[in-house]
Structure 1
Amino acid sequence: MTETQKDLIKGTIPVLKEHGVALTSYFYKRMFTHNPELKHIFNMGNQQNAKQQTALATAVLAYAEHIDNPTVLLSAVKHIGQKHSSLNIRPEHYQIVGKHLLASIREVLGDAATEELIAAWKVAYFQLADLMIGIEKEMYDQMVQNEGGWTGWKPFNIVKIVSETAEIQSVYLAPTDGGKVPRHSAGQYVSVRVYLPELHLYQPRQYSLSDASNGQYLRISVKKETPAGKPEGMVSNYLHQYFQVGKQLELTAPTGSFNLMENKYPHVFISGGVGQTPLMAMLEQLVNTNGQNAVTWIHGCRNSELHAFKERLMALEEQYEHISCFSFYDELRESDKYNLPGWVDLAKIDPEHLPQKANYYLCGPSGFIAKHFQYLTSRGIESENIHFEEFGPASLQLG
């Protein structure tokens, strides 16, 4: 890319800041009109609530702002690559996206979209696409090198379903072909896809694996979402309503870099609602491997009856003497006298359980993560020691 082309890209930064979401919204509408088959790949719930449009606008802006040194975005690019590999995104998809993105820039900007500007964005886009394709190829290669691993969608049998609460059920899955269950790192996730008759579409969703690797099954724990008629709740509702033991569910291989840090520092797990699922896998792994790290477990949910894995956590406390647990309930009952009222508030936790030198893990909605990230950094916790997993398209720029 020439310096002139870089300057042209940087010249679009003000437009991207002000109109980025309008541009990406136009892009998605255009792409789905011309290539409706891609609706089977994209989470249409995130299209409806504009999360995907916002995430793409943020990514395009970040790329334009760092066009002189895009290597600073490598961590974010790898994170996107993991999401893509979990959705079976392939090189040919980048050609389709590139065609519609460049056409959208031309059509939205009108006379301001000179041939030189479009040419510059074409070079920039395909430069990024080549980087993404290379990263994702490495991820696909790693998936098949893992014993029992695969790429693309693979059918699994549902071998057990456990109701953790009235809202959350755990689904135990084993390969339909009788093959081995691949090892995964605690904190990773899989994508599942189901056919939704209401939309006439396959829809993918990503769920954290809620148990440590065991060689026997993969477990996801799904919260039933309640927004009536909205795509963001359709898959979870469908899983709760129609999937039974003996039925099949298609999965992609485990991926993700939200993993347990391997050092001697204490671990501090902070979760809200179903956000505890990857953290449960991490805690199980610690116990299974006879770890010696001190653990602080902080979790918040509506009330004790909706506290999934509560009994399992109590059992782990007995097995692993280094755990200190704190539960926050919005609806605190008299029988919950040993728990804390309201939403998770780290200021109510004794500072000795939030040490300066520790590995912090946050999981939950974006607002939950941002709030506690800001609190921890205000107390002098280094941002590189705070790890988080945001549900849905990445929207947080922290650290």
Structure 2
Amino acid sequence: MTDTATTSNAGAFEVRPNPAPTSAAARAEALADLRFGVQFTDHMARMQWRKDEGWNDRRVEAYAPLQLDPAAAVLHYAQEIFEGLKVYRWEDGSLHLFRPVANAERFNRSARRLAMPELPVEDFLGSIEALVAVDGEWVPGSEESSLYLRPFMFASEAFLGVRPAHVMDYLLIASPVGPYFPGGVKPVSIWVATDYHRAGPGGTGAAKCGGNYAASLLPQQEAYAHGCQQVMFLDAREGKFLEELGGMNLFVVRADGTIETPRLTGTILEGITRSSVIQLLEDDGKKVVERDITLAEITAGIDSGDIAEIFACGTAAVVTPVGRLASESFDVTVGTGDAGSVTMAIRERLTDVQYGRADDVYGWMHRVG
């Protein structure tokens, strides 16, 4: 993934203002009670692709329900992809994105895997800049808050044949959010799924598409039933190697300071937060190893004290400590069960860059307001 600067196509988006926008008082009330993904801004950006015409009809318009034909291909064959990224308000009031070009590139890798058209990076960035220009007042400024962006594309052609659709809709919606896990940064409990898998070799595991998340919902329910907040998946071929959580990548901190994470095999989503964490750790002098990691060695390492910390990371939750691993056959506490020093240090390093409290030596931040 790269962060190469590129031009934006924001000026090509026609703005059609919402005739009944949220009042300043109502918006302030919403921003004072932030939850994840339940409140949305006044507008959304959109485009459409047709096989014989390419991308067209770029616009920003009022956030509203979609009109969709019952035969729309997405409803029958799940041809859709999405991304997730955030707008951060810095102390001086300016607005910044974190590595948006990397999101745009991953969006296109997902599109290729789902037989969908690629979206030019300048249109991806343009849709964000055009929407933020209209709804920038929705970006909160409280601690650990941001404006969560959800770009997505789906097959909208009304056609029941099994083939790639000839019409696609792209939309971008935005939601002001606080911390992913309410109550602050606390170690989470993880249920290890042994009867279910998120993705298999040759499948869509490396694509950010809804089917992968749908596959995680039943085992996620199982995790809740056992008092856990998240579910961990193992590989589908042998059922013994760590892969990822339902929406986050995993890192293991050894007692000797070595940090390990499952290698990318095509069944794991290549997380942008994951790659950023690896960069920061290595630049801080930490040894990071990407390799196949078995569940057996994790439980044995926890028991022996060889594994000091485990943490998960992703756009929504940033960096989250793991305090407990459980399944039908074991229930173990990681370290002391508290947030570890390596975990919290890398979380602070990353969020300091995102919120403008540290110099952006990597060129990761992209100003949008």
Common topology (TM > 0.5) = no
The higher radius of gyration belongs to 1
Greater percentage in strand: 2
TM-score normalized with structure 2 length: 0.29
Q: Greater relative contact order (Cα 8 A, min sep 6): structure 1 or 2?
A: 2
Greater percentage in helix: 1
